[in-house]
Structure 1
C-alpha cells in the first residue's frame, strides 16, 4: 500500500492522504501519508487529523433515518410532507417519499448558484424556510431514474430533526456516532478551532499551498458536512461490517448494518446499484458497498466488502485525488481477490443491434430550470459507438472501455465489474443509460443539451444585427440618408450581445456564485435586455408594413430587415430554452 499510495500522490499532485483498512476487530492499516499542513511541515496522522468526509456523510445520515425507522418513529414509504408540512416544494411530478430521498429517485435536479447562501442573507425565518429557498426543483417523476441529489439528503436531515426533536448534529453525534465509539466529531459549519480540520492543498508555482476550508452552511450538514479522523472511520467501518449482536441504543447494530445494505428497489435492474445506505456493485467477484465524496478541496471514499470482512477508507487533502479513490477497487483486484474475474454469459448483438445504442449521453445530475443550465455542455457525458467485434466502446469518462452484451439492453466489461444498461420508452426508443445499476445515470443527448444550441443564440442575434446594419448602409448608399429603424435595431442588438456575453462570462467563469443569496445586477440586466430585444421586434413589424411599396425605402433595405427577423426570433427562443432571461427570476 505504501508504494501504491505514494505513486498516486505523485501522479495527482496531492499533498497528503490517510488510508485505513479494517477487518473484524482488527485495524490492518491506519496510516497518514506526507503533508497535513504545508505551512508548518506537519505530517498527516489518522489519529489527529480530522478530514472532511464530504458526501460520505450521507452514509451516516442514512443510518440515522434507518435507526428512526427501526424505532417505529417513521416509515420509509411515508411522504416527506408528513414530517415537513411547512416545506415549500412544488412536487408537480408526484409526491416525494423518504425512500425516494434515500435512493436519489425523488426527481430533483441539481443546483449550484445560490445553493450555499447564508441563512441571514436569505432573510429566512426558519430552517425549513431556508431549505425551501435553496432547494432545486422537481423535474422528473419520482422513481423515473436515479439522479444524484445533495438536496435529498438536506431534506433527510430536516426529517431527522423533525422526528427526533433534536438538531441534526446533536442526534447524529449522540444516537449514531457515540455508539460507534466516536465521541469528538466536527461539523463543517461550526467555528474551526486550530488543528480541528486539516487544510486542503493546491499545487502552484512548484510547491503546495495550504488553504483552510470555508465554513459550510448548517442546513447542508446531512449531505456533506461531517469531519472525522481516520481512527474514527475505522470504528465506523467496524460497526457497519458487524454481523454480531452489538447494539446501538436499543437497536441491534447487526440489524442496522443489514438495513443499510438492503436493496432500495428490489427487482429493478436500473436501480440495482443503490442500497438504502450505499452505492453497491460487484468488484473482483465480491459484493461491495461504497460511497465517495468531494468537497472543501478534499476527496474521500469508504468501501465495505462484507464477504471478506474488509473495510477501506481513503482521504486526500487535495482536489486531484482520483487515483487514490480508485485504490479500493485496485486492492480487491490485485491483492485480495486477484484470481476472481466472474462475468455473465455473453449474448449475440449484431451491428444493427449495436447501432441502436450509439449516441452521446449526459449525466442526470444537472440543472434544467436555472442559470446552471449554461454549464450543461461541460458536464459529465460519454459517447457510445459500435465496434465490429460485437461490442460497444464507451469514451468520455476519463477512459475508454469496451462492453459486451450480456442480455437485452445490458452490457458488461471483460473484467466483469462494470455494467452498462440502457432505458427505453414503451415504443422502444433508447432514452438513457446507467452504469452499475444507477451509480451513474445519463439521458440521451439532444440538440438543446449541446454547446451549438447555446451558441446559436449569440450567432443568430449577431447575424440579425448585421443584416439591420446592412439595411441602414444600403439606404445611405442609395439616398445618402440612413434609415433610422434599421440602424437603431442593429446597434440595439449589438449592445444586447455585448452585455449579455459579458454577464454570462462572469456568471460561469467569474466569482463563486454558490454562496450568493440573490442574482445580482448582472442577471437582472440580462432579463431586462431580453425584454428590450423582444419588444424591439414590434416596431420592425410596423416599419416593414408602413414602408411597403413606398419609394423612399428600397427593396434591399426592406429585405435585409425582413430577413433579420427570423434570426432575432431564433435568438430569443434559444436564449429562453437556456433560461438566460429567467435566470434572475428563478434564482
Structure 2
C-alpha cells in the first residue's frame, strides 16, 4: 500500500476519532472548531480531502497554501509537475495557471490608473480606446469601467474556437484580438450580471493605452516587481527560467497521463494568462489584506481597496455578488466576508480567497484533464466549513408555500451565455429547473430550498441561499446565488428549454428515419410515381437526408471534446453547417409539395397526406430551431 494512502486513511480515522470524542463529551459542531493555527491539524484535514480526491479524479498536480496573520501556516504540493520525470510539486517554486484569478491584477492595474486620474470608472470606455470602439448597441447607454468591473456591461459570453489556443503562432496584438472577437451587447449596461472575459481584456487594453506600457510589462513593473513576485508572469509562452518549474498539463486517458501543450490565453491575456506560484500569491494577498501595501511597498491606497470591496453590484442587497472586480463569497460565518476570485482554464481550477476579519488567505490550484474540477470543488468549500463553520438554524417551510410558490417554477438559464452565435446552442442544455414540492419547499436543481423571506430561499440544512428577482408586476424574472453573483439566471421562455425541444428533436429523427426506411422498402412505388407525386417523395427524402447528414457530421465534429473546441472549430464541424442551409431549401420544397399533395389529392389516402403534412411540420420546426439557435450560416469565431 502507498504511503500517501496510509496517511490519508490515518488522517480520516483521526478526524472521525475526534468527532466521536467530542460527541461523547456532549459538544456540538458549533462548539468545536479545529484550530486553524495548528499545522498538524490543518495538514491532517487537507491531506484527508485532497489526496483521495486527486487520486479518484486523476489530477496529476495540486497545491494548497494557507496564510493567517501574514504567516504561512500550511503550504504543500501534491503530485508532480512532471509526471514522467517524477518532479514533485513545490508550493514555493512550482507554477500553476490560476485562470481568472488573473483578473484581480487587471483590476488593481485599472485602479492604479484611476488613482492617477488617467481612468475614470464612470466615463464611456470609448474615450480610452484608440484602435476601435465598443459598438453603440444601446444609444445613450455607454459601457463604463464600473460596468466592466462588476460584469454588468451587457456583453454576451463566448469562447469556442478562439478563447484559448495551444499554438503560439495564433497570438495576436491585444487590440487586434479584441476588435476581431467583439461580442454582441445583448443587454443594456447596469441591468444584469454576466461574466465577461472579453470586457476584462478590454480593461487591460485601456490600462495599456493610458499608461503607454504594454499590459504584461505594466503588471510586471507595477505589481510583480513591487511585491517581489519573482515567479509570476502574463507572458506566453513562458520564459525559459520559469518554464522549468511549470506544472505540465496532462490528459488522463487509457490509464496514463498524456502530456498536452501549454495553454495560451494571450489574445485575452488580462482575463486569464497569469502563471504564478502559491508563494507569490501570498505576497499579493498580504498587500490586499494590509491596505494595499506590504513591507513598505504599496500597490494601492487603502481607500481604493475599500472602494473595490464596498462599491459593487448585486441584484439583491441580501445576497453577496460583485465588488469592483472582487467576487464576494458566502463562505464562512456572518462577518467572515470572504472575497477574492476563482479561476479555471481548460486544465486548471484554482481558488484565491481572503478574509480581512481573520487576516486569512487560501490559495489552491489543481490540474488535469478531465479531473481538475474534482479536488477543487471537494476541497475549497470543505475547508471553510471545517475551520470557519457557518451556523445553520433550523427553518420550517411556510405551510402555504406550495399554494403560492408556482410563480417560481420554470427553467432558468444563465445570462453568462452566448446568444448570437453557434455556441448559443450549449445554453439549451444548461438550464436549471425550479419546481414547487408538496412539502412546501422549492427544488432548485437537485437541492431543496426553504423560503426564508420574500423571494429569498435557503437550502435545507445548509447556509446556501438564492435570491429571486421580480418585475414591477410581481412576475419572477430570474435569480442569483448568494456568493456567486457572476451567475445571474433568467427565467427562460418555454421554447428555450430542453424539455420543449428534446421531444420534438427526437420526433424529427424518428419521422425522418421512417421516411428513409419507407423510401427503401417502397422504392418500386416511388419509381412508378410521376409528376407532382414523385416530386413530393423527393422533397421528403431531401429533408430527411439533409438533416441526418447535419446531425452525423456535427456530432463527429464536436466529438473532439470541449478542450479542443476551445482551441478551434474543427473543419468537419464547419462543414456540417452546410446541411442546415440545404435543409431549409429542402423544407421549403417540401412545403410546396405538401400544398400540392392536398390540392391534387396525391398519395394513396387521406391518412398518407396527414402523415406527409406531419413530416413537413417537423421539417419547418427544424428551420425555426436552426434559425433561433444560430445554426443557420457560419456564425462562429475561429
* TM-score of the superposed pair, with normalisation by structure 1: 0.86
Cα distance change of structure 1 residues 436 and 542 upon mapping to structure 2, 3 Å threshold: closer
Unpaired stretches in structure 1, ≥5 consecutive residues: none
Q: Measure the CA separation in 2 of the matches of 1:266 and 1:229.
A: 32
Contact map agreement 2:350 2:365 (CA 8 A) in 1: yes
Task: Find out whether 1:90 has 2:135 as its counterpart.
Answer: yes
| Aligned-CA RMSD value | 3.7
8 Å contact from structure 1 (residues 54, 294) kept in 2:
yes
Structure 1 residue 503 and structure 2 residue 563: aligned?
no
- List aligned pairs for 1:175-324, cutoff 5 A: 175-187=222-234, 189-191=236-238, 193=240, 194-207=243-256, 209=257, 211-243=259-291, 252-265=300-313, 268-269=316-317, 272-282=320-330, 283-285=332-334, 286-318=336-368, 319-324=371-376
Distance 1:304 1:157, change over 3 A: same
1:486 to 523, 533, 536: 536
Matches within 5 A, 1:346-385: 348=398, 350-379=401-430, 381-385=431-435
After superposition, the C-alpha distances for 1:366-395 in whole angstroms (9 at most, x for unaligned) are: 22211112222333x433333455433333
CA distance in 2, matches of 1:129, 1:266: 33
Shift in CA distance, 553/311, structure 1 to aligned 2, threshold 3 Å: closer
The within-5 A match list for 1:84-233 is 84-87=129-132, 89-93=134-138, 94-116=141-163, 127-187=174-234, 189-191=236-238, 193=240, 194-207=243-256, 209=257, 211-233=259-281
CA distance in 1, matches of 2:613, 2:80: 66
1:161-182 deviations in whole A, cap 9, x for unaligned? Answer: 1111111101111112222221
Distance 1:298 1:117, change over 3 A: closer
- Number of matched residues? 577
Residue 89 of structure 1: CA displacement? 4.2
What displacement does 1:313 show? 0.6
Distance of 1:323 and 1:395 partners within structure 2: 22
In structure 2, what is the Cα distance between the partners aligned to 1:578 and 1:458? 17
* Bigger proportion of residues as strand: 1
What is the alpha-carbon distance in structure 2 between the residues aligned to residue 184 and residue 124 of structure 1? 22
> Which aligned pairs between 1:468-483 and structure 2 lie closer than 5 A?
480-482=528-530, 483=533
The CA deviation at 1:508 is 3.0
Q: Which moved more, 1:281-290 or 1:188-197?
A: 188-197
- 1:553-587 deviation line (CA, Å, top 9, x unaligned): 98677665555433332221122112111344777
Contact 1:344 1:416 in 2 (8 A): no
Q: Secondary structure at the match of 1:56?
A: helix
Q: From the superposition, tell whether residues 251 and 297 of structure 1 become closer, same or farther in structure 2 (CA, over 3 Å).
A: closer
Structure 2 unaligned regions, length at least 5: 1-41
Deviation, 1:118, is 7.1
Deviations for 1:320-355, whole angstroms, at most 9, x for unmatched residues?
A: 3444455444333322x44x5277998956322333
Q: Conserved in 2, the CA contact under 8 Å of 1:71 and 1:251? A: no
Call closer, same or farther: CA 1:527–1:355 in 2, change over 3 Å.
closer
Report the secondary structure of 1:264's partner residue.
Answer: coil
Q: Measure, in 2, the Cα distance between the counterparts of 1:9 and 1:204.
A: 20
- Per the TM alignment, residue 274 of structure 1 is displaced from its structure 2 partner at its CA by 0.6
**3-state secondary structure, aligned to 1:497:** helix
Are the equivalent residues in 1 in contact too, given 2:449–2:459 (CA < 8 A)?
A: yes
